[in-house]
Structure 1
Amino acid sequence: MTERTRLSTVGLKILMGVTGLFLVGYISLHMLGNWQIFLPAVYINQYAYLLKSVPLLLWTVRLLLLASFVVHVSCAVRLAQIRRLARPVPYDQHKPNGASWESRSMLLTGIGLGLFVLFHLYHFTWHLPPFSAFDGFTAHLKETSRSVPDVHRMMVEGLRNPWVAAAYLLGMGCLFFHIRHGIDGIFSTLGLVNRRSFPWERWLAHALGWVFFLGFSAIPVAIVLGWVR
């Protein structure tokens, strides 16, 4: 590997790390917002209405998310190409040499996450068949005289089907493994890790993975079990 390739690899990893941190920040806020499903319906409906009442802010966040996602995926694809060019002939015997399953399956879990995001948008944002009925779910808030989308009902009706709930759990499983290795890799790439000291970044990565998995998974599980109506 030439010096130029090394620099290119480091730059790509830094871009992946920065965009990854932005995406993790958004996921954290998204999870906190979704937890309002456990409160009376007015809270999450009002939250959704407030988000959409400022179109400039909403679309700025959406464009930043899209840009971060595209850059993150593009860097991952380019790094895979560089690794493949560095080793055009595969090993006769594949030995992980201590590498974790998460690190060896980042491409797989990344593809799984990408498919889940598309399904999530299809389900709750685009309202395409068979979820077209969601467009008719409306509620009234005291703060406005107009009807607003009934997000609480959309989530309950949308996740009541066990197969749909299972798809969300599978997506959260991909997020769990992707986050566990991704956070560790971000801190390593940015040079914030001292391997001779306590591996705090690994503990943080595992903790965040569990928080996201349990935090998001609790919603479809509670709805399927009838705890949220």
Structure 2
Amino acid sequence: MTEQRTGVSTIGLKILMGVTGLILVGYVCLHMLGNWEVFLPPVYINQYAYLLKSFPLLLWTVRLLLLASFLIHVACAARLAELRRAARPVAYDRRKPNGASWESRTMLLTGVGLGLFVLFHLYHFTWHLPPFSAFEGFTTHLSDSRRAVPDVHRMMVEGLRNPLVAAIYLLGMGCLFFHVRHGVDGIFCSLGLVNRRRFPWQRWLSHALGWILFLGFSAIPVAILAGWVR
């Protein structure tokens, strides 16, 4: 009876991880599209940021949804790891992967890396804590508003012009790349949407999405460091 309850619990945890993972990946894709406006004249990304903050109810609803999804995702991952350890309390003498990819064996590591990167990203661009306090003074005026609004374009350029900060972002995108490559594949499998005996379309999709997100986000600090975006 205990094993049956544990099995059902494991399936439920994987489904919760899959649903929350889809929510988080969907947001990351939209966030990347919004950030690409940095390649356009500054008014575009500044207008975009201003419009987002013009609807506080929607903005905070999305933030709370993302926070809840993130916490549930982490809690499910921790619980699944605990169940795996409980199922085999004695470790193997030799760890030899049996067809498991490198991404699948390092999901915990890349997940922790992503969590740390998100905290740094918030510290850097949202909270504007030292040594990034100067960002609070970066303001501009839009053509249809006399009120000063945050100059997001300048924040991104000044913030990512620092090679150390840019390197942290690239490292974070590396964690995102490997986490998404295996995670999206696992989401479809957990939800029962694939059949391993057929063409593994979900694996191709997960790898393609991983590359798109990695290259799409990484292009921004690289372009700023190279002086292509000013």
- Distance across 2 between alignment mates of 1:103 and 1:16: 15
The alignment covers a number of residue pairs equal to: 229
Unaligned runs of 5+ in 2: none
- Distance apart, 1:145 and its partner CA: 1.2
* Root-mean-square deviation (Å): 0.6
- Distance across 1 between alignment mates of 2:7 and 2:94: 26
- Distance apart, 1:196 and its partner CA: 1.3
Q: Which residue of 2 aligns with 1:86?
A: 87
- Distance across 1 between alignment mates of 2:97 and 2:144: 58
- Distance apart, 1:14 and its partner CA: 0.2
Deviations 1:38-62 (A, max 9, x none): 0000000000000001100000000
2:152 maps to 1:157: no
For 1:43-122, list aligned pairs within 5 A: 43-122=44-123
Deviations 1:122-154 (A, max 9, x none): 000000000000000000001211000000000
Classify the secondary structure of the residue corresponding to 1:89.
Answer: coil
- Distance across 2 between alignment mates of 1:4 and 1:218: 47
For 1:132-147, list aligned pairs within 5 A: 132-147=133-148
2:15 maps to 1:14: yes
- Distance across 2 between alignment mates of 1:15 and 1:191: 13
Classify the secondary structure of the residue corresponding to 1:170.
Answer: helix
- Distance across 1 between alignment mates of 2:220 and 2:118: 17
- Distance across 2 between alignment mates of 1:183 and 1:218: 22
4+ aligned runs moved over 4 Å, structure 1: none
TM-score by length of 2: 0.99
2:29 maps to 1:35: no
TM-score by length of 1: 0.99
Unaligned runs of 5+ in 1: none
Classify the secondary structure of the residue corresponding to 1:2.
Answer: helix
- Distance apart, 1:198 and its partner CA: 0.7
Classify the secondary structure of the residue corresponding to 2:26.
Answer: helix
Deviates more, 1:119-128 or 1:193-202: 193-202
- Distance across 1 between alignment mates of 2:144 and 2:4: 61
Deviates more, 1:89-98 or 1:210-219: 89-98
Q: Which residue of 1 aligns with 2:183?
A: 182
